[in-house]
Amino acid sequence: MAERRRVALVTGGSRGLGAVIAGVLAGRGYDLVIGGRDRDALNHVTHALSAPLETRQPGPRSRVLAVAGDLTEPGTRTSYLDAARQLGGLDVLVNNASELGPIGPLVNFDVNRLGRLFPVNAAVPLWLTQLAAPMLSERQGLVVNITSDASVAAYPGWGPYAASKAALELISRTLAAELAEQGIAVVLVDPGDMRTRMHQEAFAGEDISDRPLPEVTVPFWQWLFDREPATLAGQRVRAQQENAPWLQLA
């Protein structure tokens, strides 16, 4: 009997941190569902992840299914989970897709935009966890929710985004307590400040070259995906933490 393949689902997987996480998972033999709103970018990442071994990192060749669409739409979320079922199930759900928007003081903020930030940053991870829970429970799986240090600080200009990530943190800790009996572990990961398109768009016209690229987090993800999910349940971990055990892998 063929060995069962592990399957991971990564939202916001078409570029930046999501593409880095997907690459680590592919290198560890996972089949993948990746998603994003940019179909061309998704196709590029899909080709790279499923390329022959000599053109990417070592490991079994992955099956990769891409889902393009807006995750606030129910049909897109359903398509993600249908793709995971097509691959045989789900072991890891990485809720990476986020929206930041322009940085500025709260007194000038268009409050209507909370109707976009909270659904994308807090509600979508909950919706996907609800849909994925039966498959994750079957495999004693892991949910990784991407947070931010802004959620635990009062950075001027970052208030709306920070509030949505703070909501995600409380949702995640509650899910960790509620899903433990089903064998599902939920962990929060703060990846740290990075040079991504989302950050560049927030600081339009500014030089953010002093920030590291998302690849700086690769040793952390290698460490994380080597852990038994149950040992991580309810934790909040910083990917760029100084003197962390995963830095020995760099």
pLDDT tens track, the chain, 250 positions: 457 899 999 999 998 999 999 999 999 999 999 999 999 999 999 988 986 554 444 555 789 999 999 999 999 999 999 999 999 999 999 999 999 888 889 999 999 999 999 999 999 999 999 999 999 999 999 999 999 988 888 889 889 999 999 999 999 999 999 999 999 999 999 998 766 666 666 665 676 666 778 888 999 999 999 999 999 999 999 998 777 776 655 4
List the domains of the chain with CATH numbers: 7-249 (3.40.50.720)
Which 3 state secondary structure label does DSSP give 10?
A: strand
Q: By the 8 A CB rule, do 62 and 26 touch?
A: yes
Q: Per the structure block, which two tokens stand in for 116?
A: 């976009």
Contacts of 129 (CB under 8 A, 6+ apart): 93, 95, 136, 143, 175, 179, 186
Closest CA to 33 of 69, 3, 63: 63
- Residue 197, pLDDT score: 66
- Residue 94, pLDDT score: 98
- Number of Cβ within a 10 Å radius of residue 42: 22
Question: How many angstroms separate the CA atoms of 185 and 101, rounded?
Answer: 30
Contacts of 206 (CB under 8 A, 6+ apart): none
List the catalytic residue out of 30, 80, 155, 161.
161
Is residue 161 annotated as a catalytic residue, yes or no? yes
Question: How many angstroms separate the CA atoms of 8 and 172, rounded?
Answer: 18
Q: How distant, in Å, are the alpha carbons of 96, 100, 165, 189 from that of 69?
A: 15, 18, 22, 24
Which 3 state secondary structure label does DSSP give 102?
A: coil
- Residue 247, pLDDT score: 61
